[in-house]
Structure 1
């Protein structure tokens, strides 16, 4: 009887551990996982399920959309930040209604900090001063940087 009881406890413990592991391994969807992520100064092709009639970008200084054809939109990151894109069909139904997050590519870059002055270097393969976009220049002027 003791052996049967120990097996039962072991079986229960193993089942509990496996169930807990399965529950914890499923990552919950977070807000950071949603939306369209674009690297600044790069484009992304959006293939649509049905033909688009209207394309609207919330803040055209952050992202720009160009309609290649009725089912293809090219989205380009222009400045840092979050905006949205809404694509509507001829019947007025939304095909796409997503946030667009534009960020800097950190691959092959180095930042040099000298007090309030920040210099970004593009290292591909030799480090050179990275070109500043209008959004970066505006950000620098807002924080008083003389970059």
Structure 2
């Protein structure tokens, strides 16, 4: 679990003994019931607005989705891996303001070509010319080769000349 606070504020995790929902608080969300589902595509970001009074944001599994808190209650959610996790917003007292499920799914791209050779899979982005692409689920050899080239290229771009 990762806790993120607003810029300029210290990280504050709720006390373990403090319940997430205070039953005496009339405007508290119900402890159970349907939760909103936020769909984010892999390697894409989505901007959402946090509830008023949000001080802490928690992501259940940061390997699936990552968050960045911006100014004015804006949250950027980025899909990191396929799967589902939850997103929790707490106020300064550690009371639950909102909880949503985050579903990270494959992007809906018509320009991706997948080549299957037995159990080995390779992905290509064809926008408009086909180039090797990194996709979760590609064979280890393809993924490693394309990833290595991308990392090396990024290194060249950031080197001081």
Name the counterpart of 1:59.
61
In structure 1, distance between residues paired with 2:122 and 2:73: 40
| Aligned-residue CA RMSD (Å) | 2.3
Q: Is the 8 Å Cα contact of residues 63 and 78 (structure 1) preserved in structure 2?
A: yes
The equivalent of 2:147 in structure 1 is: none
* Equivalent of 1:103 in 94, 97, 105: 105
| Aligned mate of 1:114, from 98, 117, 123 | 117
- Structure 1 segments of 4+ aligned residues over 2 angstroms from their partners: 91-96
1:129 aligns with 2:126: no
Q: Does 1:46 align with 2:22?
A: no
The verdict on how the C-alpha distance between 1:140 and 1:128 changes in structure 2, with shifts beyond 3 A counting, is: closer
- Cα deviation, residue 70, structure 1: 5.3
Between structures 1 and 2, the one with greater helix share: 1
The 5 A counterparts of 1:1-147 are: 34-69=36-71, 71-107=73-109, 108-132=111-135, 136=136, 146-147=141-142
Q: TM-score with structure 1 length normalisation? A: 0.64
How much does 1:49 deviate? Answer: 3.1
| Larger of the two Rg values belongs to structure | 1
